[in-house]
Amino acid sequence: MIRLNGWSAIVILAAIGIFLAYGGARALGEVGFWTLVTGSEWYPTIAEPRFGFVPLLIGSAAVTITAIFLSMPVSLAAAVFISEFANKRVKEVAKSIIEFMAAVPSVVYGLIGIAIVVPGVKEAFNLDSGLNAMSGAIVLAFMIAPTIVSISEDALHAVPNDLRQGSLALGNTRWQTTYKVVLPSASSGVLAAVMLGMGRAIGETMAVLMLTGNAARIPGSLFESVRTITGTIAAEMGNVVQGGLHQSVLFTLGLVLFAITFLINLVADLVLEKQRRRWRR
């Protein structure tokens, strides 16, 4: 039964891949995969349309990587606090807040971003518009925090207590014990947490669609408007001709996104498995 479930997961994954490839077949045939992936212009609706993914890939990368850099220090600190320093009561409250953060719909994050972050970024950096990669990344940083916090916390929690005791008994403070023994011991789990956060960030659609300004061109800085892979698919899919080339190109774009998230999650899982095996001695 378990094996059946395992296989069915693989079958479903393969089916998604095949479905996306099938939908993108026309684009892959007429434009070609390489031209799509390396093309630097995205003008899908002009008379002679240009379908280049590069601005979208850069848009997604800019927002995702910035979000990770913003979220990681705070999330990791939160995980360390919850796992190593908080007492039982505080731990429970903190965990339910994190769960609640994960449960907020992304469109609500988008609205909060529009109301607070966009004007804030505009003010703070003295810009004409706050609808840019930075605003998207800031809101995204909050959205991926629950993933990073809870998985890092699991990894820290899995470090055997023996090691903490051993370090304390050698005349180390709790803090020294945390950064000299516990964090290094949990490093691969923390890495996996960050990667899963990244997978979540790159797949996020609604909030970035609302906040990044959606200009599909290669940005010069984080304070310019960008368009992400997900935002493009969501914004344009409703306006395309059924069975047309544009629709097929969007399917291919979906296939690329699927491949990226699949790879990130796969690597994260392998890293996590390595971490689990470590304490099985």
Rounded to a whole number of angstroms, the minimum distance from the CB of residue 161 to other proteins is 9
Amino acid at 160: P
91 binds other proteins (CB under 8 A): no
CB–CB of 114/194 below 8 Å? no
How far, CA to CA in Å, does 128 sit from each of 119, 120, 133, 228, 231?
10, 12, 14, 21, 22
Rounded to a whole number of angstroms, the minimum distance from the CB of residue 83 to other proteins is 15
Rounded to a whole number of angstroms, the minimum distance from the CB of residue 75 to other proteins is 23
89 binds other proteins (CB under 8 A): no
DSSP letter at 135 equals: H
d(CA 37, CA 20): 16
d(CA 257, CA 199): 10
Choose among 10, 225, 235: nearest CA to 118: 225
CB–CB of 109/138 below 8 Å? no
10 binds other proteins (CB under 8 A): no
d(CA 134, CA 221): 9
Q: Which residue's CB is nearer to other proteins, number 68 or number 190?
A: 190
274 binds other proteins (CB under 8 A): no
Residues binding other proteins: number (CB under 8 A): 20
- The interface mask with other proteins, positions 159-198, x = CB under 8 A, is -x-xx-xxxxxxxxx--x---xx--xx-------------
Rounded to a whole number of angstroms, the minimum distance from the CB of residue 160 to other proteins is 7
206 binds other proteins (CB under 8 A): no
Interaction with other proteins in 241-270: which residues (CB under 8 A)?
Answer: none
- Binding positions for other proteins, rule: CB under 8 A: 87, 160, 162-163, 165-173, 176, 180-181, 184-185, 278, 281
